[in-house]
């Protein structure tokens, strides 16, 4: 199993550009999450999904959109990129085992907006 795969690993955007961060998992996990981590800070939840077709906002959803059309994929869309979105983005997934399921994280996507 590849686990959780994120692409791209690095990207530089200009202010106002848009892009999609891709996340895919091959573990048949129901639950998927997007977090961002600013330098020296903890993880902030952007969006999460408890299954295909279902998404919910996390702590910091503004400026982002998500979709979950399949169990495997959970792309994160940035519209009109701003310097405040410069961060490292982590995707995670989990099997729905009544709170006991562990989170599996991808390696991260480092985004810089100039």
Partner 1 sequence: DAKTTQPNSMESNEEEPVHLPCNHSTISGTDYIHWYRQLPSQGPEYVIHGLTSNVNNRMASLAIAEDRKSSTLILHRATLRDAAVYYCILRDVIERDDKIIFGKGTRLHILP
| Interface residue list for partner 1 (CB under 8 A) | 31, 33, 35, 41-45, 48, 50, 56, 58-59, 90, 92, 94, 96, 98-100, 102-108
Q: How many CB atoms lie within 10 A of CB 65?
A: 15
Query: To the nearest whole angstrom, how small is the minimum distance from the Cβ of residue 15 to partner 1?
Result: 26
Q: Which residue has the tokens 């910091």?
A: 60
Query: To the nearest whole angstrom, how small is the minimum distance from the Cβ of residue 40 to partner 1?
Result: 9
Q: Which tokens in the block code for residue 64?
A: 């982002």
* Residue closer to partner 1, measured from CB, 17 or 45: 45
Query: To the nearest whole angstrom, how small is the minimum distance from the Cβ of residue 30 to partner 1?
Result: 9
Query: To the nearest whole angstrom, how small is the minimum distance from the Cβ of residue 26 to partner 1?
Result: 16
Closest CA to 33 of 114, 112, 104: 104
CA 5 to chain centre: 11
- Asked if 36 contacts 89 with a C-beta cutoff of 8 angstroms, the reply is yes
* Residue closer to partner 1, measured from CB, 17 or 44: 44
Closest CA to 88 of 4, 9, 5: 9
* Residue closer to partner 1, measured from CB, 17 or 22: 22
* Residue closer to partner 1, measured from CB, 17 or 58: 58
């Amino acid at each position: 199993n590849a686990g959780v795969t994120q692409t791209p690993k690095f990207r530089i955007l200009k202010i106002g550009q848009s892009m999609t961060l891709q996340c895919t998992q091959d573990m048949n996990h129901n639950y998927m999450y997007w977090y961002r981590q600013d330098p020296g800070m903890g993880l902030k939840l952007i969006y999460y999904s408890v299954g295909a077709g279902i998404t919910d906002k996390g702590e910091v959803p503004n400026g982002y959109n998500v979709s979950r059309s399949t169990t495997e994929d959970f792309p994160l869309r940035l519209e009109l990129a701003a310097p405040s979105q410069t961060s490292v983005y982590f995707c995670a997934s989990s099997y729905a085992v009544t709170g006991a399921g562990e989170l599996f994280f991808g390696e991260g996507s480092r985004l810089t907006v100039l």
